[in-house]
Amino acid sequence: MSKNLQSIKQRFGIIGSSDVLDIALGTAVRVAPTDLSVLVQGESGVGKEVFSKIIHSLSPRKHNQFIAINCGAIPAGTINSELFGHEKGAFTGASSDRKGYFETVNGGTIFLDEIGEMPQETQQYLLRVLESGEFIRVGSNKINKTDVRVIAATNVDLEDRIQKGKFREDLYYRLNTVTIKVPPLRERPEDISILFRKFASDFADKYRATPVRLDEKAQLVLENYSWKGNIRELKNIAERVSLMSENKIVTAEELIDANPQLLKRNLPVIGNGKNNGSDSNSFEEREILYKLLFEMKSDLNDLKSLVFEMIKRNDLKVPDLRNLRQLDAPKFPNSSSREDYREELSNRFQNPQSNYQNPEDVYSPNEGQPIIIENPDFDHAEVVEETLSLEAMEKQMIDKALKKYKGRRKEAAEELGISERTLYRKIKQYDL
């Protein structure tokens, strides 16, 4: 990271070192000296307003006024008056002339948050301001001029709203000269623990207490949560844990007790092995694998227990494995030989001289015990033991996918159902 970005982070209180965050900040720094319109995209709670302040502070307009307006919080009947002003008597209650924001912030910067909620009539007025710098007060026919830079932000898909006829396409392209995509918290897992410590420290300073810390498992819980509320939600959790925890080192159990919603994973569905251009599930791909593996393991254990219980309750006798080893390997060149083999096998098991042993001696339902199978082709026994390391299984699957596609990461990532960025990180992690 460049010294310039580091100084900007310190100046505006931005915490994090993820690549996606640095890319967004780098775009803001480059566009700041210009007068181009900027559209900041990102989910609620990611800090879009901070980016607008960075752009204003690094622009030639930094000594002039900056104002942030939430378009979704202003009633549709008064938003035109708020933005462009009104004349006395223009509507009921207009007892005097009033200047709008575009007039009072002349020479400065206006940040229009939730631009997708702006009424269509107001969109037409805004488009005229962006194209010519002209506007008309409500109830007036006099054209006024203004020199204002507009930075807009949205947490909805404006193209989708265009398709539904709720947003003007020409205004969208006028605003979208430069786009800055602020990453959600789930795409910055490496920053979550740092942000938690910052919020916990701020809470402790405010109330003169010792800041809490998370143990390793508790950090993993936070890193694997979906964070729909992003940084706002993380701050709330940090303050709640700081207040409720009796220990200064918070365990995963204590963290979940105070915040049960952390167990909700909202696992995505992987279809056709493609990401459809979205990285929103990049932090959950291991959970999908783990969930499937644990369910398979549970089903297998249930099946083993069921078979053992049936053998035990019905007092069944199980043939000695040594009898099976004495049989020749089956060869089925045609259907008749298959039937002959089946009949021979049945006769051998029905032989009263056959050695049998107790069911417990053949199968033990205890988990973690190795299954020993003697191979007649070798002098020693083979020990088949279940691998319980999730990281080893994940590494093996990634290695197989890379070999299958001869090192082509894009195709391997699609096969695994993860993003290329996540696959690259896993390759470095496992040194593949």
Q: Which pLDDT does position 30 carry in this prediction? A: 95
Last residue of a domain, one of 369, 391, 409: 369
Query: Do both 157 and 303 map to the same domain?
Result: no
- In angstroms, rounded to a whole number, what is the distance separating the alpha carbons of residues 152 and 48? 9
Looking at residue 335, its pLDDT comes to: 45
**Burial class (CB within 10 angstroms; exposed 0-12, middle 13-18, buried 19+) of 199:** buried
**pLDDT single digits (tens) 295-337:** 677 777 778 777 777 777 777 766 555 555 555 555 544 444 5
Cα separation, 141 vs 121, in Å, equals 17
Tally of structural domains, the chain: 3
pLDDT single digits (tens) 116-166: 999 999 999 999 999 999 999 999 989 999 999 999 999 999 999 999 999
**pLDDT value, residue 155:** 93
Contacts of 46 (CB under 8 A, 6+ apart): 182, 183, 184, 185, 230, 231
Rounded CA separation 197/193 (Å): 6
pTM for the predicted model, two decimal places:
0.60
Q: How many CB atoms lie within 10 A of CB 304?
A: 14
* Residue 175 shares a structural domain with residue 191: no
What one-character DSSP code corresponds to residue 369? P
- Residue 74 within a domain: yes
> Which residues fall within 8 angstroms of residue 274, CB to CB, at 6 or more apart?
414
On whether residue 272 sits in a domain, the answer given is no
Kindly report the CATH number assigned to the domain that includes residue 228: 1.10.8.60
User: Rounded distance, CA 257 to CA 15, Å?
Assistant: 27
Q: Name the domain boundary from 165, 183, 201.
A: 183
Concatenated DSSP letters of 145-174: E---EEEEEESS-HHHHHHTTSS-HHHHHH
In a domain, 244, yes or no: yes
Pair (133, 163) in one structural domain: yes
Residue 393: inside a domain, yes or no? Answer: no
Kindly state whether residues 220 and 73 are assigned to the same domain.
no
Residue 155: what are its φ and ψ, rounded to 5°?
-115, 10
Q: In the prediction, which pLDDT does 311 show?
A: 75
Are 25 and 114 found together in one domain?
yes
Q: Is residue 75 part of a domain?
A: yes
- Is 238 inside a domain boundary? yes
Rounded distance between C-alpha atoms, residue 37 and residue 53, angstroms: 14
Instruction: Tell me: do 311 and 238 sit in the same domain.
Output: no
Q: Are 97 and 57 in a shared domain?
A: yes
**Is there a domain that residue 251 lies in?**
yes
Same domain? 92 vs 20 = yes
Q: Which domain holds residue 209?
A: 186-263
Smallest CA-to-CA distance from 396 within 370, 426, 367 is with 426
Q: Identify the CATH number of the domain in which residue 10 sits.
A: 3.40.50.300
Could you tell me which residues are beta bridge partners of residue 318? 357
Q: Are residues 26 and 134 in the same domain?
A: yes
Asked if 9 and 138 sit in the same domain, the reply is yes
Q: Which of 128, 149, 183 is the last residue of a domain?
A: 183
Tokens of 415: 């096969």
Whether 240 and 139 map to the same domain: the answer is: no
Which residue reads 């566009």 in tokens?
31
Tens-digit pLDDT string for the chain (432 aa): 477 888 999 999 999 989 999 999 999 999 999 999 999 999 999 999 999 999 999 999 999 999 999 999 999 889 999 999 999 888 888 889 999 999 999 999 999 999 999 999 999 999 999 999 999 999 998 999 999 999 999 999 999 999 999 999 999 999 999 999 999 999 999 999 999 999 999 999 999 999 999 999 999 999 999 999 999 999 999 999 999 888 889 999 999 988 888 887 544 444 444 444 444 444 455 556 655 676 677 777 778 777 777 777 777 766 555 555 555 555 544 444 555 555 655 555 455 444 444 444 444 444 444 444 444 444 454 544 555 566 777 888 888 888 888 888 888 888 887 887 788 788 878 787
Q: What is the DSSP letter of 210?
A: P
Residues 21 and 87 grouped into a single domain: yes
Residue 254 falls within a domain, yes or no?
yes
